[in-house]
């Protein structure tokens, strides 16, 4: 790692202030950022840890009936405490491994927007609201391609709000080495339609499979998408699987998610 | 350099560290607790698993300064004061759950975290929980068996009879 | 484990719990990275990020001026220093010795693989060394790289080494005289089965990365190297004599607790030589700790063969001839034992467990711009087993016969058996291990299990195969004729103390195998004393006799035999002392349960009385024998040992995704006699884990420019607990080795050798059961590959 200053503010306001320093960077759970720093692929001047900020931790129901999860809430805490949204809790319980889940946070994952991360699929399929210290961003506007989001520099995710669907499920097909999603599909059925978000597969990062959404909104059953497939073009092709394979898996995982949706 | 203070295996410890000093470096290099190992640089292998405030974490993927004020437990603190192995350690010896020993501290610490959450895990649950702990020697057979035995389950009928 | 063996409480055959576990379980092991020498500095290597290039300039001024930097070393500092030696010279089918390029410690003018070390910075801290390594101003003119072996042999291909005539290291034929007869047999065959396959490139990845600490004592002129090695004496010899010019008495090599090796820690590496060299140059201890990412591009890789194999059968399905052509990747340099792996550790095993009268093996070893390739668990024998057992399976399918029956029909059944590939199997019983396998794997129940899987929408397959290996490496005079530049004996000193306790100093090295537990079992059995009276010391050249270390499943067969020989000398001398004490003839002295008695009388003296007399020789035959009780023996085996067995794997394949899961795995092995069945089980488990890893998960992949695509655990898939099942293992079939005193054969590599073909055979069987016309899929059988194969 390159040398950096370390700050661990206790409030969002102090963190925002600390992040105004040149080349300052926020540190969530660090489960992606610290390995990146070890490889010397990033060189912040100041690392601002968000782990000491109590106000961005925890899970609650909002007055509007939304499930609100603090940006600093760990995957393990979501897996344990988001019972109101079982598919989301189950997804959190599949991220990384137990030790990673004890450190990694939902805010950190969404801010990083790794193209193979799990949370972006849930957030996009639920059209979650990404709340920062400055504003609220709808998931549909938030994800802008791999490792790219609507966040401004120094903007901190303080909360993520989910409308709990009637039924939902996440199916994750593992990349055998990293155990990130080679293809992960989150299907969420709301009263006004079905949303399908796919992670791991596309060079553009998480995306909505709108053709499947339309078919499933009309008929929420695996058969509804039997003839559908995503285009191979734009899929990731690498040593773990070709573009064609990932496109195929999107279909299989979507069907399975629909079958398993509760 | 910044002073960091934490409780390690029940004893208050402190030392001077840089911002970039990892918890595992603080334990190994500053405190001389070399039982916690480093086997990779991508947070995959789990040789460095310790408990921070009662939860399993990878000490190679946490800054020492983030553990300020925390309760840290390492492999060195697992046996009784007189050296008697705890139930998990004893089961690992009894069932040959280790060979070269390098992954063992992380395995034992992960197993301890598992049994705290789930006192009677099934084979499948154990294998799944060990997703973040790599062992290259044992093929995992005897590790899984040892953890089942440590949880009080009868392992006499597992394979190899 | 068989109950009769399990029942024994101590000595040979007892499942004694491992004493070394206590320190490993309490965090008090002493691995190389746990060693810190007062005042040590740290080194960081600047490594090539291109596969092939010419260093046009290297400016270290800025780096040298960085905080904490003690010195920056480049290739120029090593111009007068020897290169890393190769320990085996292969002679090719035309009588030519192999092409042998230099292997500098730091690059001399050219870089030849990603990871090739170019410069080294020694600084006060590891991070300062890394900071400064990045500040070295380096210019490299990138050259076209050769990655594919067949392309590397084309006319006009870029040459990895400008001073060699081509990228061909050697073109080996074995047995060359059989070539024409083999061709004739193929012409006369009723059926020929041909298979082209790849034995995938692997990275050993012991969980402990390599570490080296060099130290120098100016007062004594002695250098010390602490290193993660399977064979400290070999490192002392190679580095002392060939690289740095330090005589053995001024060089101590210590390999303390070592966190796994699997072959990758046999070899002498540049970093070890560098740390020893730099410690002397700077008069400071110098430490290097590899990161895992660095390990992927600096540890020797394994396997990487491309093979065409052909099997000829007569009209009765008897094997009549076998012919192979293999391209073996050497990487950019010859690692320590690289040339021997695809030749003498591979060609000699091509008979397998079968009576094939005529065999011809051709191996072309090729230089490429990749990390050097050398021995990895099994080393040559997994490659031989894989191709042979896959081609037999394919032949059975082509002929419409049961693959087990085809194997049984062609088994060698009489021993000793001289194969057409120059080795003589002393003992074995392949029918017995196959019978045992059918029992423990419950093959009779397979059809019902398949039906259950099909009900759940899964395809189920069964794969069975045999294996044989040559272990207990190796007769020195024989390997000398074959090109080895070393002897392959082992040594032991048995030191009996005055009060009867024993310390054994062995040249074998334990890095997970449990020698500290199993070796005392042997001595306890021989003398009749408790195991706890015996301690094992190993790993430090300062206090152990010259030994060749641990690899090739040799520790007990060769190192254990040396220990037995030394103990026999101890017992012979002790009997003389006992005879004197009891005023009897030494021919009448019997040793049992730690007591010497005079045959036919009730006179006896205890072990401790005799050992005390040896060191307090008041009443002692000083005119006949010396005081003291300490003996050394060197043991050189007269043949290899030949463990063999039969393995079965059952898989389920998800027809929608191609994902393979291992449902059952069984191994029936014949390791000859067994000292500690618990440890043997563990060795087999671990080998199977690695073999399944090779078959399903692991693959080291380069792109066409020589960039390593599987450069960390994020892309190189290591087997995890949930990738693997419980294994049924059995070693109750025991045909003892006839030529070593323990009758042992070795068990360390069997699992890794026997398991990959079982997995692939099973997957092919599953797919065919689902109506897919698939005959072969190259490893690793990732979901993507299996799915692609199913698409036709």
Say which CATH number the domain at B126 has: 1.10.150.120
The chain B residue lying nearest A100, using CA atoms, is B57
Contacting subunits of A (3+ beta carbon pairs below 8 A): B, C
Residue among C271, C253, C223 nearest C78 (CA):
C271
Domain shared by B98 and B121, yes or no: yes
Q: Which of residues 149-188 of A touch B (CB under 8 A)?
A: 178-179
Domain shared by C531 and C452, yes or no: no
> Which of the residues B4, B17, B62, B69 would you substitute to probe the A interface, choosing the one with the greatest number of A C-beta atoms within 10 Å?
B62
Domain shared by C287 and C343, yes or no: no
Domain shared by C534 and C586, yes or no: yes
Residue B156 belongs to some domain of the structure: no
Q: Where does the pLDDT of residue C4 fall: very low under 50, low under 70, confident under 90, or very high at 90 and above?
A: very low
Domain shared by B63 and B27, yes or no: yes
Residue B28 belongs to some domain of the structure: yes
Residue C201 belongs to some domain of the structure: no
pLDDT tens across C415-425, in order?
999 999 999 99
Domain shared by B14 and B50, yes or no: yes
Domain shared by C318 and C283, yes or no: no
Residue C155 belongs to some domain of the structure: no
Those residues whose C-beta lies under 8 Å from the C-beta of residue B103, and which sit 6 or more positions away, are B37, B39, B45, B46, B47, B133, B134, B135, B136, B137, C207, C259
Query: C721 vs chain B: nearest CA distance in angstroms?
Result: 5
B/e letters for A31-60, b = 16+ CB within 10 Å, e = fewer, are: bbbbbebbeeebebebbbbbbbbeebbebe
Q: Do A176 and C656 touch (CB under 8 A)?
A: no
The chain A residue lying nearest C789, using CA atoms, is A245
Residue B29 belongs to some domain of the structure: yes
Q: How many domains does chain B have?
A: 2
Considering only CB atoms, A177 lies closest to which of C131, C713, C783, namely C713
Domain that holds residue C781: 301-474+639-790
Domain shared by C600 and C662, yes or no: no
CA dihedral C633, C636, C639, C643 (to 10 degrees): 60
Q: Where does the pLDDT of residue C2 fall: very low under 50, low under 70, confident under 90, or very high at 90 and above?
A: very low
- Edge-to-edge strands, sheet with C251-254: C69-74, C117-123, C41-47, C286-289, C211-217, C222-227, C251-254
Query: B161 vs chain A: nearest CA distance in angstroms?
Result: 32
Domain shared by C56 and C130, yes or no: yes
Residue with tokens 């040594």: C491
Please say which residue of C596, C614, C635 terminates a domain.
C635
Q: Do B131 and A179 touch (CB under 8 A)?
A: yes
Considering only CB atoms, B45 lies closest to which of C257, C678, C713, namely C713
Q: Is A99 on the interface with B (CB under 8 A)?
A: yes
With contact defined as beta carbons under 8 Å apart, do C537 and C504 qualify?
A: yes
Query: B154 vs chain C: nearest CA distance in angstroms?
Result: 15
**DSSP symbol at C116:** -
Q: Is A50 on the interface with B (CB under 8 A)?
A: no
Please say which residue of B77, B103, B129 terminates a domain.
B77
Give the pLDDT mean for C241-249: 96
Residue C19 belongs to some domain of the structure: no
Domain shared by C425 and C336, yes or no: yes
Domain shared by C628 and C503, yes or no: yes
Q: Is B78 on the interface with C (CB under 8 A)?
A: yes
The chain B residue lying nearest C712, using CA atoms, is B42
Q: Cα–Cα distance between C776 and C199 in angstroms, integer?
A: 12
Question: Residue C515: in which H helix or E strand, if any?
Answer: helix C515-527
Domain that holds residue B113: 87-150
Q: How many domains does chain C have?
A: 3
Identify any residues that bridge with C661 across adjacent strands, giving them in sequence order. Answer: C652
Residue C111 has pLDDT above 60, yes or no: yes
| Residue ranges of chain B whose CB lies within 8 Å of a chain A CB | 2, 18-20, 22, 41-44, 46, 49, 52, 55-58, 61-63, 65-66, 68, 110, 113-114, 129, 131-133
Q: Is C31 on the interface with B (CB under 8 A)?
A: yes
Please say which residue of C593, C613, C635 terminates a domain.
C635
Residue C1 belongs to some domain of the structure: no
Q: Where does the pLDDT of residue C8 fall: very low under 50, low under 70, confident under 90, or very high at 90 and above?
A: confident
Domains, chain A = 5-49 (3.30.43.10), 55-162 (3.30.465.10), 167-260 (3.30.390.50)
Give the pLDDT mean for C10-34: 98
Question: Residue C576: in which H helix or E strand, if any?
Answer: helix C561-581
Q: Is B68 on the interface with C (CB under 8 A)?
A: no
CB pairs under 8 A between A and B: 78
Residue B159 belongs to some domain of the structure: no
What is residue C499's predicted lDDT score, i.e. its pLDDT?
Answer: 97
With contact defined as beta carbons under 8 Å apart, do C374 and C337 qualify?
A: yes
Q: Do B160 and C24 touch (CB under 8 A)?
A: no
CA dihedral C572, C574, C579, C580 (to 10 degrees): 130
Question: Residue C391: in which H helix or E strand, if any?
Answer: helix C381-399
Domain harbouring C657, CATH code: 3.30.365.10
Q: Cα–Cα distance between C578 and C613 in angstroms, integer?
A: 9
Distances, alpha carbon A90 to alpha carbons A79, A82, A261, C723, in Å:
6, 9, 12, 21
Q: Is A3 on the interface with B (CB under 8 A)?
A: yes
Those residues whose C-beta lies under 8 Å from the C-beta of residue C374, and which sit 6 or more positions away, are C263, C264, C266, C267, C300, C301, C302, C335, C336, C337, C338, C341
The CA R_g of chain A, rounded to the nearest whole Å, is 18
With contact defined as beta carbons under 8 Å apart, do C64 and C133 qualify?
A: no
Residue C503 belongs to some domain of the structure: yes
Query: B121 vs chain C: nearest CA distance in angstroms?
Result: 14
With contact defined as beta carbons under 8 Å apart, do C374 and C340 qualify?
A: no
Residue B39 belongs to some domain of the structure: yes
Residue among C267, C146, C148, C258 nearest C201 (CA):
C148
Q: Do B62 and A76 touch (CB under 8 A)?
A: no
Low pLDDT (below 50) residues in chain A:
none
Residue C156 belongs to some domain of the structure: no
Please say which residue of C587, C609, C635 terminates a domain.
C635
Domain shared by C503 and C609, yes or no: yes
Please say which residue of B42, B77, B112 terminates a domain.
B77
Domain shared by B105 and B61, yes or no: no
Q: Is A240 on the interface with C (CB under 8 A)?
A: yes
Those residues whose C-beta lies under 8 Å from the C-beta of residue C716, and which sit 6 or more positions away, are A177, C203, C205, C296, C698, C699, C700, C710
The CA R_g of chain B, rounded to the nearest whole Å, is 16
The chain C residue lying nearest A179, using CA atoms, is C714
Q: Is A39 on the interface with C (CB under 8 A)?
A: yes
Identify any residues that bridge with C44 across adjacent strands, giving them in sequence order. Answer: C121
**Residue A248: its chain C contacts at CB < 8 A?**
787
Domain shared by B70 and B8, yes or no: yes
Considering only CB atoms, A239 lies closest to which of C131, C656, C701, namely C701
What is residue B161's predicted lDDT score, i.e. its pLDDT?
Answer: 39
Query: B10 vs chain C: nearest CA distance in angstroms?
Result: 16
Residue B158 belongs to some domain of the structure: no
pLDDT tens across A173-190, in order?
999 999 999 999 999 999
Q: Do B93 and C22 touch (CB under 8 A)?
A: yes
The chain C residue lying nearest B141, using CA atoms, is C726
Q: Do A178 and B44 touch (CB under 8 A)?
A: yes
Instruction: State chain C's mean pLDDT as an integer.
Output: 97
Residue C293 belongs to some domain of the structure: yes
**Residue C127: its chain B contacts at CB < 8 A?**
20
Low pLDDT (below 70) residues in chain B:
160-161
Domain shared by C291 and C311, yes or no: no
Q: Which of residues 58-97 of A touch B (CB under 8 A)?
A: 76, 96-97
Domain harbouring B63, CATH code: 3.10.20.30
Q: Where does the pLDDT of residue C539 fall: very low under 50, low under 70, confident under 90, or very high at 90 and above?
A: very high
Q: Where does the pLDDT of residue C3 fall: very low under 50, low under 70, confident under 90, or very high at 90 and above?
A: very low
Q: Do C17 and B135 touch (CB under 8 A)?
A: no
Distances, alpha carbon C39 to alpha carbons A35, C5, C193, C282, C549, in Å:
29, 52, 64, 11, 31
Domain shared by B96 and B114, yes or no: yes
Q: Do A30 and B110 touch (CB under 8 A)?
A: no
Sign of the alpha-carbon dihedral angle for B36, B40, B46, B50:
positive
Q: Is A220 on the interface with B (CB under 8 A)?
A: no
Domain shared by B73 and B7, yes or no: yes
Domain shared by C371 and C224, yes or no: no
Residue B120 belongs to some domain of the structure: yes
Q: Which of residues 281-310 of C touch B (CB under 8 A)?
A: 291-293
The chain B residue lying nearest C35, using CA atoms, is B34
Residue among A34, A5, A147 nearest A99 (CA):
A34
Q: For chain C, give the percent of residues with pLDDT over 90.
A: 98
**Residue A40: its chain C contacts at CB < 8 A?**
130, 134
Domain shared by C120 and C251, yes or no: yes
Q: Is C469 on the interface with B (CB under 8 A)?
A: no
Considering only CB atoms, A30 lies closest to which of B62, B113, B132, namely B62
**Residue A238: its chain C contacts at CB < 8 A?**
709
Those residues whose C-beta lies under 8 Å from the C-beta of residue C659, and which sit 6 or more positions away, are A173, C653, C783, C786
Q: Where does the pLDDT of residue C792 fall: very low under 50, low under 70, confident under 90, or very high at 90 and above?
A: confident
Considering only CB atoms, C206 lies closest to which of B76, B96, B100, namely B100
pTM as predicted: 0.97
**Residue C699: its chain A contacts at CB < 8 A?**
239
Q: Do C27 and B127 touch (CB under 8 A)?
A: no
Q: Where does the pLDDT of residue C7 fall: very low under 50, low under 70, confident under 90, or very high at 90 and above?
A: low
What is residue C293's predicted lDDT score, i.e. its pLDDT?
Answer: 96
Considering only CB atoms, B42 lies closest to which of C292, C512, C751, namely C292
Q: Do A240 and C134 touch (CB under 8 A)?
A: no
pLDDT tens across C45-98, in order?
999 999 999 999 999 999 999 999 999 999 999 998 999 999 999 999 999 999
Contacting subunits of C (3+ beta carbon pairs below 8 A): A, B
**Residue C727: its chain B contacts at CB < 8 A?**
139, 141, 159-160
Q: What are phi and psi of B56, to 5 degrees?
A: -70, 130
Residue B99 belongs to some domain of the structure: yes
What is residue B160's predicted lDDT score, i.e. its pLDDT?
Answer: 46
The chain B residue lying nearest C679, using CA atoms, is B96
Q: Is A226 on the interface with C (CB under 8 A)?
A: no
Give the pLDDT mean for C144-155: 98
**Residue C457: its chain A contacts at CB < 8 A?**
none
């Amino acid at each position: 790692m390159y040398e950096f200053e370390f700050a661990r503010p206790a409030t969002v306001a102090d963190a925002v202030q600390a992040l105004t320093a040149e080349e300052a960077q926020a540190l969530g759970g660090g489960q992606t950022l610290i390995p990146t720093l070890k490889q010397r692929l990033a060189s912040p001047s100041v690392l601002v840890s968000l782990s000491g900020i109590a106000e961005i931790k925890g899970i609650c129901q909002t007055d509007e009936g939304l499930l609100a999860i603090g940006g600093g809430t760990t995957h393990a805490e979501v897996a344990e405490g988001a019972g109101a949204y079982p598919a989301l809790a189950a997804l959190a319980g599949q991220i990384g491994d137990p030790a990673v889940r004890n450190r990694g946070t939902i805010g950190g994952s969404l801010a990083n927007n790794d193209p193979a991360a799990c949370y972006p699929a849930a957030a996009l399929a639920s059209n979650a609201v990404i709340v920062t210290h400055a504003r609220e961003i709808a998931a549909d506007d938030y994800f802008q391609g791999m490792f790219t989001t609507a966040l401004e520099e120094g903007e901190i995710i303080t909360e993520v709000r989910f409308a709990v669907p009637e039924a939902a499920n996440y199916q994750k097909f593992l990349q055998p080495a990293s155990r990130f999603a080679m293809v992960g599909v989150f299907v969420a059925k709301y009263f006004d339609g079905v949303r399908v978000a796919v992670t791991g597969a596309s060079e553009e990062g998480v995306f909505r499979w709108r053709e499947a959404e339309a078919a499933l909104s009309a008929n929420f059953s695996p058969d509804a998408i039997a003839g559908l497939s995503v285009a191979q073009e734009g899929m990731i092709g690498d040593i773990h699987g070709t573009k064609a394979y990932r496109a195929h898996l999107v279909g299989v995982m979507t069907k399975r998610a629909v079958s398993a949706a509760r | 350099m910044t002073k960091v203070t934490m409780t390690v295996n029940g004893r208050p410890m402190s030392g001077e560290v840089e911002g970039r000093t990892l918890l595992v470096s603080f334990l190994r290099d500053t405190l001389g607790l070399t039982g916690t190992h480093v086997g990779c640089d991508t947070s995959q292998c789990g040789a460095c698993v310790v408990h921070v405030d009662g939860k399993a974490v990878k000490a190679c993927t946490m800054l020492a300064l983030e553990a300020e004020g925390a309760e840290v437990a390492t492999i060195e603190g697992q046996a009784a004061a007189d050296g008697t192995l705890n139930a998990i350690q004893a089961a690992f010896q009894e069932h040959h759950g280790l060979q070269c020993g390098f992954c063992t501290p992380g395995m034992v610490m992960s197993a301890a975290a598992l049994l705290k959450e789930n006192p009677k895990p099934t084979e499948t649950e154990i294998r799944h929980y060990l997703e973040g702990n790599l062992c290259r020697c044992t093929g995992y057979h005897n590790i899984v068996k040892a953890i089942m035995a440590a949880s009080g389950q009868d392992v006499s009928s597992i394979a190899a009879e | 484990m068989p109950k009769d063996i399990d029942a024994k409480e101590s000595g040979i055959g007892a499942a004694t719990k491992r004493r070394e576990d206590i320190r490993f379980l309490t965090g008090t092991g002493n691995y190389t990275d746990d060693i810190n020498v007062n005042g040590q500095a740290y080194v960081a290597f600047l490594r090539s990020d291109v596969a092939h290039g010419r260093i046009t300039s290297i400016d270290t001024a800025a780096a040298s001026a960085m905080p904490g930097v003690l010195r920056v070393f480049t290739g120029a500092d090593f111009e007068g220093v020897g290169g890393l030696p190769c320990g085996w010279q292969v002679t090719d089918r035309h009588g030519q010795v192999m092409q042998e390029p230099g292997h500098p410690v730091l690059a001399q003018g050219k870089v030849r693989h990603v990871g090739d070390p170019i410069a080294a910075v020694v600084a006060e801290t590891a991070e300062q060394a890394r900071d400064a390594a990045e500040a070295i101003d380096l210019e490299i003119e990138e050259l076209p790289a050769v990655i594919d072996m067949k392309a590397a042999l084309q006319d006009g291909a870029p040459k990895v080494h400008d001073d060699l005539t081509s990228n061909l290291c050697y073109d080996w034929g074995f047995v060359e005289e059989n070539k024409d007869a083999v061709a004739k047999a193929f012409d006369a065959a009723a059926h020929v089965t041909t298979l082209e396959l790849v034995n995938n490139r692997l990275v050993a990845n012991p969980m402990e990365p390599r570490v080296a600490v060099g130290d120098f004592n100016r007062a004594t002129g002695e250098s010390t190297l602490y290193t993660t090695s399977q064979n400290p004496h070999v490192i002392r010899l190679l580095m002392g004599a060939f690289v740095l010019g330090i005589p053995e008495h001024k060089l101590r090599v210590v390999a303390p607790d070592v966190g796994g090796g699997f072959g990758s820690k046999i070899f002498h590496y540049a970093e070890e030589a560098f740390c020893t060299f730099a410690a002397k140059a700077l008069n400071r201890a110098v430490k290097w700790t590899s990161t895992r990412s660095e390990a992927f591009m600096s540890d020797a890789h394994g396997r990487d063969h491309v093979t065409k194999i052909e099997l000829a059968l007569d009209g009765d399905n008897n094997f009549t001839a076998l012919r192979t052509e293999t391209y073996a990747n050497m990487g950019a340099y010859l690692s320590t034992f690289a040339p021997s792996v695809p030749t003498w550790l591979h060609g000699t095993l091509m008979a397998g467990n079968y009576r094939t009268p005529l065999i011809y093996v051709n191996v072309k070893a090729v230089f490429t711009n990749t990390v050097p390739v050398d021995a990895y668990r099994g080393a040559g024998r997994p490659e031989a087993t894989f191709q042979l057992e896959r081609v037999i399976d394919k032949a059975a399918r082509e002929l419409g016969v049961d693959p087990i029956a085809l194997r049984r029909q062609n088994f060698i059944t009489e021993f000793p058996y001289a194969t057409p590939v120059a080795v003589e199997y002393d003992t074995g019983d392949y029918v017995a291990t196959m019978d045992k396998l059918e029992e423990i794997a419950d093959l009779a129940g397979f059809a019902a299990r398949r039906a259950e899987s099909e009900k759940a929408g899964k395809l189920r397959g069964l794969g069975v195969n045999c294996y044989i290996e040559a272990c207990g490496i190796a007769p020195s005079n024989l390997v000398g004729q074959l090109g080895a530049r070393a002897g392959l004996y082992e040594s032991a000193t048995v030191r009996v103390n005055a009060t009867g306790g024993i310390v054994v100093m062995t040249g074998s090295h334990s890095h997970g195998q449990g020698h500290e537990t199993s070796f005392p079992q042997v001595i306890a059995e021989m003398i009749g004393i408790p195991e706890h009276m015996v301690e094992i010391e190993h790993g430090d050249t300062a206090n152990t006799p010259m030994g060749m270390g641990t690899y090739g499943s040799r520790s007990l067969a060769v190192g254990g035999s040396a220990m037995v020989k030394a103990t026999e000398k101890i017992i012979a001398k002790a009997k003389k002392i006992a005879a004197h004490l009891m005023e009897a003839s030494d021919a009448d002295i019997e040793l049992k349960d730690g007591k010497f008695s005079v045959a036919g009388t009730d006179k006896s003296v205890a072990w401790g009385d005799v050992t005390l007399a040896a060191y307090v020789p008041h009443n002692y035959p000083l005119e006949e024998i010396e005081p003291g009780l300490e003996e050394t023996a060197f043991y050189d085996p007269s043949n290899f040992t030949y463990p063999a067995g039969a393995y079965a794997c059952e898989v389920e394949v998800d027809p929608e995704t191609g994902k393979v899961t291992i449902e059952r795995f069984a191994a029936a092995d014949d390791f000859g006699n067994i000292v500690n069945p618990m440890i043997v089980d563990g060795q087999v488990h671990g080998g199977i884990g690695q073999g399944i890893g090779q078959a399903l998960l692991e693959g080291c992949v380069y792109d066409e420019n020589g960039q390593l695509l599987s450069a960390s655990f994020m892309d190189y898939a290591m087997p995890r607990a949930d990738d693997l099942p419980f294994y049924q293992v059995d070693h109750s079939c025991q045909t003892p080795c006839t030529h070593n005193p323990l009758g042992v054969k070795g068990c360390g590599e069997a699992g890794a050798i026997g398991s990959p073909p079982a997995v692939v055979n099973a997957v092919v069987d599953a797919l065919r059961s689902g109506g897919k016309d698939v005959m072969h899929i190259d490893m690793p059988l990732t979901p993507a590959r299996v799915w692609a194969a199913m698409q036709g």
